[in-house]
A and B are shown apart, each in its own frame.
Chain A
Amino acid sequence: MTILLFIVFLFLLIIGFPIAFALGISSFVYLLFSDIPLMVIPQKMYAGIDVFVLLSIPGFILAGNLMNASGITSRIIRFCNALLGHIRGGLGLANVGASMLFGGISGTAIADTASIGSVMIPAMKKEGYDVPFSCAVTASSSTIGPIIPPSLPMIIAATLTGLSVGRLFVAGIIPGILLGLGFMITVYLIAVKRQYPKSERVPVKMIFKSFFQAFWAIMMTLVILFGIIGGVFTPTEASIVAVIYAIAIGLWVYRELKVNMIPTIILQSAKTTAALMVLVGFANLFAWIMTVEELPQIIASSLLDFTENKIILLLMINLLLLFVGAFMETIAALLILFPVLLGVAVQVGVDPVQFAIIMVFNLVIGLTTPPVGVCLFVASSIGQISLEKIAKAGFPFLLVSLLILILVTYFPAVSLWLPGLFYD
């Protein structure tokens, strides 16, 4: 019976069903063959989305969209250019830097690739960078977004297990910064080898000026973070504070947001949230069936039977997740696998917070690898070149991601030191 569930799910996924409905329909087929009443479909959908922490998702999505409509992207890019442009490969470095700052606003990698890529890829092309390289930098660096807070996958991970959203957010900061620095070093080395251009050094006064332009965006991240860490507000409240902050900045500081644009942005954000929540709801149904079939226990015990060595077990889990991440969308994979694998990891003594970071990190790597790397798709449509070329140019960045993944996996302090500082 469980095999039926998975075969139907994978089949539907491959032939092109939206993931949310592939989960729903495979569960539906399972229910038809069992004696469980079909009423569990609306029931589990409801239970999946009636969670207070999830209310922070529309807020963060809306805040990100509002900031984007206020012209924040170009300001962040201008600041990073002023700061890093004079180094060799400056535009590439600025691309990575912008992703790190933008990650503090948007929380999803696709939004990051789309907004930064549409400005940076043409700019890099014009200055003589190879197009595949430009696309690869954009796609790879946008995976920093879901690791640096606020992060939708971290919110979902927290919802699934009752971990604190604040702790997960803070735990992502150092891995996110390491990833950014790793990418920057790679960009620099490649730039030196290929003699990519650098621009004139910008006067310090100009750097400060561009900093003050981008300042309000950076402030938003800090307000969210310190608000949550300091217990001033809950993650859900923080997301609403971010919305009000973004409206205020857009209307009165940047003055690019117009009041009549807001309803459209709200509607768009609501639709994005809704599509995501349908996924969450059906994944809840799917996961419930897995529990009925005692699948988590079976997977856990067979993994633990194989080995109880923490190092080998984590290596196996990482390989599994990298594989899954290459085929499946981050949040869907998280919904189905996180609760199952967390049980295993905890049994061999891995901290749940660290494991959440390991999991999200693994899955976002898949965003930039074929066959199903959504960031690759977006970058390739902006750069007008094939996926294969970008994937090939992105290989050095993939290696960097894997290196940082190893650090996160085998050195708990990388993720746990900072939350320990703030919380314990």
Chain B
Amino acid sequence: MIKNHFPHLDKVLAFFINFSFILMIAVVSLQIVARYALPWSPNWTEELARFCFIYMVSLGAALAVKDNGYVSVNTFLDRLTPRIKRWVEIIILVLIILLMMTMFIFSIPLVKIVSLQISPSLNLNMSIMYAAMGFMGFFVSFYSSIQLYKKYKNL
């Protein structure tokens, strides 16, 4: 059961990611169709598409940790003995968690500041957009912590 600690969280995130992506596709399609075939063109499509994109990226970033989706250069790592290699990987994860937790924590005051702004066409509170950065920080840290736990356990 080491493989999947939080299958439900995976599924919830995957649902929101797919939902954002599909909504983005739908909204941009509407934008094209509206321009050529409909008498009116909604002015909010671009903003909603960007909104979907940012949430898709923020949540997708977390699941990408699980898949080792981030490009790295392993020439040096592969030359180490397995034991030292694992230690280096642990240090890498710890620093990633530190960075992403910082991003999470400092997105809170940022969200407060931008809550005074309203998005131009949807009239949404901009803090909703910026909150995605908090989600990204939190969930990337969370999934990195799971990786860290696995690495530590196998040490």
What residues of B have a CB within 8 angstroms of the CB of A236 in the complex?
Answer: 28, 49
Asked whether A42 lies within 8 Å of B70 as measured between CB atoms, the reply is no
> Looking at chain B's contact residues, is the secondary structure mostly helix, strand, loop, or mixed?
helix
Closest to B20 in A: A270
How far apart are B37's CB and chain A's nearest CB, in angstroms?
A: 13
Residues B134 and A42 in contact, CB atoms below 8 Å apart: yes
Q: Please pick, from A17, A38, A55, A263, the residue contacting B53 in the complex, using a CB distance under 8 A.
A: A55
A55 touches B70 (CB 8 A): no
Tell me if B69 and A272 are in contact (CB < 8 A).
yes
- Tell whether, in the assembled complex, residue B133 and residue A58 are in contact, meaning their CB atoms are under 8 Å apart: no
Given the interface contacts A41-B102, A55-B28, A270-B56, does A371 sit within 8 Å of B75 by beta carbon?
Answer: yes
Specify the chain B residue showing the minimal Cβ separation from A278.
B61
Q: Contact size class for A? A: 35 or more
Indicate which residue in A55, A244, A270 contacts B18 across the interface (CB closer than 8 Å): A270
Chain B proximity mask over A235-259: 1 for CB below 8 Å, otherwise 0:
0110011011000000000000000
Interface status of A147 (Cβ within 8 A of chain B):
no
Please name all residues of chain B whose beta carbon is closer than 8 Å to the beta carbon of A12 when the two chains form the complex: 95
Q: Across the interface, name the chain B residue whose C-beta is closest to A21.
A: B96
**Which B residue's beta carbon lies closest to that of A282?**
B99
Tell me the complex Cα distance, A272–B71, Å.
10
Residue of A nearest to B46 (CB): A52
Return the CB mask of B1-26 against A: 1 if under 8 Å, else 0.
Answer: 00000000000001001101110110
Q: How far is the CA of A28 from the CA of B96 in the complex (A)?
A: 11
Within 8 A of A (CB), among B122-155: 129-130, 132-134, 136-137, 140
Residue of B nearest to A27 (CB): B99
Measured CA separation A374–B73 after assembly (Å): 9
Across-interface contacts of B39 in A (CB, < 8 A)? none
Asked if residues B60 and A54 are in contact (CB atoms below 8 Å), the reply is no
B64 at the binding interface (Cβ < 8 Å): yes
Q: How far is the CB of B97 from chain A (nearest CB, A)?
A: 10
**Nearest CB in chain B: distance from A17 CB, A:** 5
**Interface assignment of B38: CB less than 8 Å from any CB of chain A:** no
Contact indicator A270/B110 (Cβ below 8 Å): no
Partner of B95, one of A13, A19, A25: A25
- Whether A21 lies near B99 (C-beta < 8 A) is yes
The number of chain B residues with a CB under 8 A from chain A is 56
**Is there an interface contact between A14 and B73, defined as CB atoms closer than 8 Å?**
yes
A49 CB-CB contact with B under 8 Å? yes
A38-B106, A237-B31 known; A273 and B56 CB under 8 Å? yes
Closest to A24 in B: B99
Q: Which residues of B contact A127 (CB under 8 A)?
A: none
Q: How far is the CA of A233 from the CA of B28 in the complex (A)?
A: 10
Q: Bound complex: CA of A371 vs CA of B130, how far in Å?
A: 39
A62 partner residues in chain B, CB cutoff 8 A: 21
B57:A273 contact, CB within 8 angstroms: yes
Asked if A39 is at the interface of the complex by the 8 Å CB criterion, the answer is yes
- Given the known inter-chain contacts A52-B50, A270-B21, please indicate yes or no for A275 contacting B70, CB distance below 8 A: yes
Q: Which residues of B contact A (CB under 8 A)?
A: 14, 17-18, 20-22, 24-25, 28-29, 31-32, 46, 49-50, 53-54, 56-61, 63-64, 67, 69-77, 88-89, 92, 95-96, 98-99, 102-103, 106-107, 109-110, 129-130, 132-134, 136-137, 140
